[in-house]
Amino acid sequence: MSFLDRHISSTRLIRTYNASTVLQTLYRYGSCSRSQLTKLTGMSPATITRIVAELIEQGIVLEGRVGKSTGGRRPVYVHIDYTKLYLVSIKLLRDDCSVALLDLRGQILSKNKMTPADFNPNPLIQDVILAVENLLRDCQINREHILGVGVAISGVVRSEVGLMVNSVNLGWKNVPIAELLGRDLDLPIYVENDANASALAEFWFGNAKDTANSMYIKTETGAGVGIIIGKTLVSGPRFMTGEIGHVPLVQNGRPCRCGQRGCLETYVYLDDVLARYREMTAKAVSRSAFIELIHNGHHSASEIVGETAQALAFACAHWGVLLDLDVITIGGFWGGLKKEIIDYCQKYYNEVLEKTGIPRQIKITNASFGDDTDLLGAAGLVIDRWFVPFPVLER
């Protein structure tokens, strides 16, 4: 018997179209009166009254403050009870494995970093299961209050079935992550590529929260993008949307490990960049030392950063115009360089729009959450799946 069948009936209620729409509205606006919900959702007053009553009965929605009267009964505002619903996030990267417990606002309530001894699928999955169980026990969370478990992982993912098709980062192929985790955790499991998860983090909790069309460019350990169009994550029929690391971007650019020239990855993959600096100067530097060189205006470091800024500016302008985006977020190491990268990309994009006569504005920004972006994205994945309604049988 599945989680949705076995646990409290509120899980079934939440996934109905009307209840999901009401919860999405409350999630966006914080609190609303029943009359406001009627206007915002387009539902009838009778439907709103019935749905809100059912949500209150299940303890998911609470009544709060009383508003001013406009001649009739004083309106009572309702809001989601964030203490009743939680999310578990898992980040699986070779250099960073973590589990976290979050509320629906995206607040990390508890986070534990893992140090796996074995990165083969079965032992690592067992380590993750143990870490999640310990997290729930230590936080004293009732399992019935967990909406689901989100997993952000590097590689090509068939998200609808939770299958890792191929992860170069972990060396995995055709690993049924959702099945392996769900069997022992007995919770809904949702799996997504880390770039897509990062796009969801910005969409649900960050700089792209109030926009319909956005893109997250993941840098530093590679290059990939997550794309939100019409408030919906785009994955493509073969799950390859956003795999742009080895699509040539800079004409006659630097050679890439894939055999081509001008690929975005060769400009943003930090290990390659630091190796290039070492070739130019005969000096090896760490990540932090390279940042200091950049801020001090070191010639070789500045030259390398200039190349990366140009490549990212091309990427932002090409895909931003093509997709008619509202926000582009640059994550990872390069997103942390505001003047050298973010401001440069914004200026270049503005010039492109001005020269082409396109009456459009776009915001280019850095990531909202730093090292926690993947965990927030995994949480956003659960919210995204949970609040997208699908029809259920009448009770």
pLDDT in tens, 82-120: 877 899 999 998 788 999 999 988 899 999 999 988 889
pLDDT-derived band at 15 (thresholds 50, 70, 90) equals: low
pLDDT-derived band at 388 (thresholds 50, 70, 90) equals: low
Q: What is the pLDDT of residues 40-98, one digit of tens each?
A: 999 999 999 999 998 898 888 999 888 776 666 788 899 998 877 899 999 998 788 99
* Mean per-residue pLDDT over the chain, rounded: 87
pLDDT computed for residue 39 by the predictor: 92
Q: Residue 292's CB: how many other CB atoms inside 10 A? A: 12
- Amino acid making up residue 297: G
Q: In sequence order, what are the beta bridge partners of 215?
A: 227, 328
Torsion angle defined by CA atoms of residues 371, 375, 378 and 382, in that order, rounded to the nearest 10 degrees: -140
Q: Residue 113's CB: how many other CB atoms inside 10 A? A: 11
Q: Which long-range contacts (CB under 8 A, 24 or more apart) does 268-276 make?
A: 268/219, 268/220, 268/222, 268/223, 268/308, 268/311, 268/312, 268/332, 268/333, 268/334, 269/219, 269/220, 269/221, 269/222, 269/223, 270/219, 270/220, 270/221, 270/332, 270/333, 273/304, 273/308, 276/304
Q: What is the pLDDT of residues 234-261, one digit of tens each?
A: 887 766 677 778 888 888 889 888 888 9
pLDDT computed for residue 181 by the predictor: 94
Does residue 387 have a pLDDT over 80? no
pLDDT computed for residue 395 by the predictor: 31
Is 0.75 surpassed by the pTM of this model?
yes
pLDDT-derived band at 393 (thresholds 50, 70, 90) equals: very low
Q: What is the pLDDT of residues 283-341, one digit of tens each?
A: 999 999 999 999 999 999 999 999 999 999 999 999 999 899 999 999 999 999 999 99
- Is the CB of residue 346 less than 8 Å from the CB of residue 339? no
Residues of the chain within CATH 1.10.10.10 domain(s) are 3-80
Please tell us whether the domain made up of 209-367 is placed in CATH 3.30.420.40.
yes
pLDDT computed for residue 105 by the predictor: 84
pLDDT computed for residue 45 by the predictor: 93
Instruction: Round to whole Å and give the CA distance between 208 and 336.
Output: 17
Q: In sequence order, what are the beta bridge partners of 89?
A: 100, 150
CA distance from start to end of the chain? 18
Averaged pLDDT, 347-375? 90
pLDDT computed for residue 30 by the predictor: 84
* Domain 3-80 -> CATH class: mainly alpha
| CATH number attached to the domain at 86-200+374-386 | 3.30.420.40
pLDDT-derived band at 358 (thresholds 50, 70, 90) equals: confident
Residues of the chain within CATH 3.30.420.40 domain(s) are 86-200+374-386, 209-367
Backbone φ and ψ for 237, nearest 5 degrees, come out as -65, -25
pLDDT computed for residue 371 by the predictor: 85
* Integer CA distances (angstroms), 184 to 4, 109, 167, 178, 370, in order: 16, 23, 23, 10, 31
Q: What is the per-residue burial (b if ≥16 Cβ within 10 Å, else e) of 224-254?
A: bbbbbeeeebbbeeebebbbbbbeebbeebe
pLDDT computed for residue 89 by the predictor: 97
Does residue 4 have a pLDDT over 50? no
- Amino acid making up residue 83: T
DSSP notation for 207-221:
TTTT-SSEEEEE-BS
Instruction: Round to whole Å and give the CA distance between 185 and 181.
Output: 6
Averaged pLDDT, 137-163? 88
